[in-house]
């Protein structure tokens, strides 16, 4: 049992890295796609809608296969390591769901906030970055936490594009040792533990962002 | 009358079939304090919102300091609808305080006041902070610099909003029913700040208000709004003491009865 644990932890470390970088990409693409979706410029809006619908409407596994097996072939000739594919695939996939969450969050910011910015003569880009986005991010945290945990759990698919993540290691060890119950119980605990870290981290972030803030008051 | 600082010329605003401003003409002299009263739906707030460019107008021209706000001269001298950057340039002369405060909830009082001077006027943090501290002290909140809006009462929030607008050094201040969302006992502290502003600064002020007593005591001129235009106007004594129009009399007696 003690020899199993380090190997599982190695897999878990891959899972952690893919989750971390994938989450960052997901958050950035969610904000950009939400902005595109809300843009008054038609082509930007269509681009955002196309991205969201394609990545939300097709299987993540097939997306990963496309990125890993199809893109290196002509006419694309784009070759990425399995690790990069995992981050790009998961990030863009969850980002597409996140875009709709962000869109709702941005629209939930009170109209009076926009009016105050106009009255203070703020440029629209400053208005978004300094006033609207911080409030929208706060509103997006609870549904966003769900998506990040979803991303963590979806990392188990990356074993199918040759990455040795936690799920891959668990299966490998199971085949070598036949300690099926122990290994998969451990894997379960490790996933649960990582999900709780995300959960706790997001709660702390929410607490920090909402410092001195009342929700649903006059704004 | 000296050169007006704000001039509405035949301004019309419609929402579908509803005409909210109907060929409105209004000149405001520099330093003048104008109170705008009238029944709800008469276009009072729309007038201020149009001047702040929060509402577009359908016809007419609004000028601030002799410069058209909603329009700009094209190459051939004709007036065409203003670009965003032209509007930003002219809009900088105007500040506004809202009924619902609209403070930034994620910033403390001090940050609320320094945000626009730093981000819009490009002022350094030190200078902006010093000015903000002065302004917040002037509105009686020198002790509450680090308080967030949710930790302040309505009256205190509204005073922060006044300081925030003043930090942009406007020439014209617009007050849109600034005491309507406040408990009666908190109105006084906000009105006192406006009184002080009026006596210590040469600010032009336009205020939409339901506080008839305050309008009477504070304003140089009172405009009674009805159906999208100024139905009757005059000095407070004229308008409140001896209104000429039937509609004005009916409005004032209804207000008196309610009080």
User: CB of B189 within 8 A of CB of B155?
Assistant: yes
d(C-alpha B118, C-alpha B189), whole Å: 28
Does B88 lie at the interface with A, CB-CB under 8 angstroms? yes
Q: Which pLDDT score is estimated for A176?
A: 86
The C-alpha angle with vertex B119 and arms to B115 and B122, in degrees rounded to 5, equals 120
Q: Which pLDDT score is estimated for A77?
A: 87
> Between B105, B115, B151, which is nearest A219 by CB?
B105
Q: Which pLDDT score is estimated for B89?
A: 85
> Between B150, B151, B168, which is nearest A121 by CB?
B168
pLDDT exceeds cutoff 90 at A1: no
CB contact under 8 A, B151 and A121: no
pLDDT exceeds cutoff 90 at B114: yes
Q: For chain A, what are the domain ranges?
A: 18-163
User: CB of B95 within 8 A of CB of B166?
Assistant: yes
Q: What band does A213 get if pLDDT is binned at 50, 70 and 90?
A: low
Strands B6-15 and B59-64: antiparallel
- Please name the residues between 111 and 150 in chain A that touch chain B, using a CB distance below 8 Å: 112-113, 115-116, 118-123, 126, 130-131, 134-135, 138
Q: How many residues does chain A have?
A: 219
Q: What band does B233 get if pLDDT is binned at 50, 70 and 90?
A: very high
Q: What is the pLDDT of residues A59-86, one digit of tens each?
A: 999 999 999 999 988 888 888 999 999 9
Q: What band does A12 get if pLDDT is binned at 50, 70 and 90?
A: very high
Decide which of B223 and A217 is more confident. Answer: B223
Q: Which pLDDT score is estimated for B187?
A: 87
* Nearest-by-CA chain B residue for A131: B104
Q: What is the pLDDT of residues B193-207, one digit of tens each?
A: 898 888 888 899 999
Q: Which pLDDT score is estimated for B1?
A: 63
Q: Quote the minimal CA–CA distance from B246 to chain A in Å.
A: 36
Q: Which pLDDT score is estimated for B258?
A: 78
- Angle at which helices B109-119 and B154-166 cross, to 10°: 20
CB contact under 8 A, A218 and B181: yes
Residue with tokens 């594919």: A85
Q: Which helix (DSSP H) or strand (DSSP E) does residue B24 occupy?
A: strand B18-28
Query: In this predicted complex, what is the ipTM?
Result: 0.90
Q: Which pLDDT score is estimated for A5?
A: 81
pLDDT exceeds cutoff 80 at A156: yes
d(C-alpha B122, C-alpha B115), whole Å: 10
Does B95 lie at the interface with A, CB-CB under 8 angstroms? yes
CB contact under 8 A, A115 and B115: no
Q: What band does A16 get if pLDDT is binned at 50, 70 and 90?
A: very high
Q: Which pLDDT score is estimated for A47?
A: 96
Strands B221-226 and B229-234: antiparallel
Q: Which pLDDT score is estimated for B116?
A: 93
> Between B52, B95, B148, which is nearest A212 by CB?
B148
**What value does the mean pLDDT of chain A take?**
90
Contacts of A121 in chain B (CB under 8 A): 88, 91-92, 116, 120, 168
Q: What band does A219 get if pLDDT is binned at 50, 70 and 90?
A: very low
Instruction: Report helix, strand or coil for B205.
Output: strand
Q: Which pLDDT score is estimated for A212?
A: 66
- Please name the residues between 155 and 194 in chain B that touch chain A, using a CB distance below 8 Å: 157, 164-165, 168, 181
Q: What band does A218 get if pLDDT is binned at 50, 70 and 90?
A: very low
Token pair recorded at residue B77: 């001298």
d(C-alpha A216, C-alpha A103), whole Å: 19
* Nearest-by-CA chain A residue for B146: A212
- How many Å from the N-terminal Cα to the C-terminal Cα in chain B? 35
Please determine, looking at this structure, whether the domain spanning A18-163 carries the CATH number 1.10.3720.10.
Answer: yes
> Between B53, B119, B154, which is nearest A122 by CB?
B119
pLDDT exceeds cutoff 90 at A198: yes
> Between A112, A134, A211, which is nearest B100 by CB?
A112
pTM (2 d.p.): 0.86
pLDDT exceeds cutoff 80 at B189: yes
Q: Averaged over B130-142, what is the pLDDT?
A: 92
Q: What band does A2 get if pLDDT is binned at 50, 70 and 90?
A: low
Q: Is B259 exposed, middle or buried (0-12, 13-18, 19+ CB in 10 A)?
A: exposed
**Region of residue B139 (left: phi > 0; alpha: psi -120 to 50; beta: else):** alpha
pLDDT exceeds cutoff 50 at B115: yes
d(C-alpha A34, C-alpha A56), whole Å: 14
Q: What band does B118 get if pLDDT is binned at 50, 70 and 90?
A: very high
User: CB of B112 within 8 A of CB of B160?
Assistant: yes
pLDDT exceeds cutoff 60 at A97: yes
Contacts of A132 in chain B (CB under 8 A): none
Q: Which pLDDT score is estimated for B97?
A: 95
Task: Report which of B168, B165, B231, B203 is spatially closest to residue B28, judged by C-alpha positions.
Answer: B203
Q: Which pLDDT score is estimated for B42?
A: 82
Q: Is B195 exposed, middle or buried (0-12, 13-18, 19+ CB in 10 A)?
A: middle
Q: What band does A215 get if pLDDT is binned at 50, 70 and 90?
A: very low
Q: Is B112 exposed, middle or buried (0-12, 13-18, 19+ CB in 10 A)?
A: buried
pLDDT exceeds cutoff 80 at A95: yes
pLDDT exceeding 70 applies to what percent of chain A? 95
Using only the alpha carbons of chain A, give its radius of gyration. 20
CB contact under 8 A, A119 and B52: yes
**What value does the mean pLDDT of chain B take?**
89
> Between B104, B108, B165, which is nearest A119 by CB?
B165
Instruction: Report helix, strand or coil for B33.
Output: strand
pLDDT exceeds cutoff 50 at B22: yes
* Nearest-by-CA chain B residue for A115: B54
Q: Quote the minimal CA–CA distance from B253 to chain A in Å.
A: 32
Does B93 lie at the interface with A, CB-CB under 8 angstroms? no
Q: Which pLDDT score is estimated for A74?
A: 86
Q: What is the pLDDT of residues B63-80, one digit of tens each?
A: 998 888 887 777 777 777
* Nearest-by-CA chain A residue for B152: A212
Task: Report which of A189, A187, A208 is spatially closest to residue A197, judged by C-alpha positions.
Answer: A189
Task: Report which of B163, B158, B218 is spatially closest to residue B34, judged by C-alpha positions.
Answer: B218
């Amino acid at each position: 049992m003690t020899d199993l644990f380090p190997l599982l932890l190695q897999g878990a470390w891959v899972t952690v890295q893919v989750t971390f970088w994938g989450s960052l990409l997901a958050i950035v693409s969610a904000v950009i796609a939400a902005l595109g979706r809300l843009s008054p410029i038609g082509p930007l809006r269509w681009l955002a809608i196309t991205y969201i619908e394609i990545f939300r409407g097709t299987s993540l596994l097939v997306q990963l296969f496309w990125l890993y097996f199809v893109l290196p072939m002509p006419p694309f000739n784009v070759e990425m390591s399995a690790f990069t594919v995992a981050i790009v695939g998961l990030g863009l996939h969850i980002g597409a769901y996140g875009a709709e969450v962000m869109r709702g969050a941005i629209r939930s910011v009170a109209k009076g906030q926009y009016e105050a910015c106009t009255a203070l003569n703020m440029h629209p880009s400053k208005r978004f970055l300094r006033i609207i986005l911080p409030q929208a991010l706060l509103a997006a945290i609870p549904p966003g936490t769900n998506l990040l945990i979803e991303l963590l759990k979806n990392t188990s698919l990356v074993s199918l594009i040759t990455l040795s993540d936690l799920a891959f290691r668990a299966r490998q060890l199971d085949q070598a040792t036949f300690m099926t119950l122990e290994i998969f119980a451990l894997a379960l605990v490790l996933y649960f533990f990582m999900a709780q870290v995300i959960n706790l981290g997001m709660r702390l972030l929410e607490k920090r962002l909402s410092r001195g803030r009342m929700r649903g008051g006059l704004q | 009358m000296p050169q007006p600082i704000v001039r509405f010329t035949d301004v019309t605003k419609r929402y579908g079939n509803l005409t909210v401003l109907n060929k409105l003409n209004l000149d405001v002299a520099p330093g003048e304090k104008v109170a705008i009263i009238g029944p709800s739906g008469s276009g009072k707030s729309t007038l201020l919102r149009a001047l702040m460019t929060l509402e577009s107008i359908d016809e007419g021209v609004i000028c601030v300091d002799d410069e058209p706000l909603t329009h700009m001269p094209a190459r051939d001298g004709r007036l065409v609808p203003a670009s965003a950057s032209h509007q930003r340039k002219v809009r900088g002369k105007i500040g506004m305080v809202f009924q619902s405060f609209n403070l930034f909830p994620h910033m403390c009082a001090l940050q609320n006041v320094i945000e626009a001077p730093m981000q819009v006027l490009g002022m350094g943090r030190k200078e902006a902070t010093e000015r903000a501290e002065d302004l917040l002290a002037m509105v009686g909140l020198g002790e509450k610099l680090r308080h967030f809006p949710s930790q302040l009462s309505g009256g205190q929030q509204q005073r922060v909003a006044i300081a925030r607008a003043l930090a942009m050094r406007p020439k014209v201040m617009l007050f849109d029913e600034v005491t309507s969302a406040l408990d009666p006992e908190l109105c006084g502290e906000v009105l006192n700040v406006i009184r002080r502003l009026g006596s210590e600064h040469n600010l032009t002020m336009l205020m939409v208000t339901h506080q008839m007593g305050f309008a009477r005591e504070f304003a140089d001129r009172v405009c009674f709004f009805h159906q999208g235009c100024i139905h009757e106007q005059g000095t407070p004594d004229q308008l409140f003491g001896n209104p000429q129009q039937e509609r004005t009399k009916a409005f004032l007696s209804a207000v008196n009865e309610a009080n």
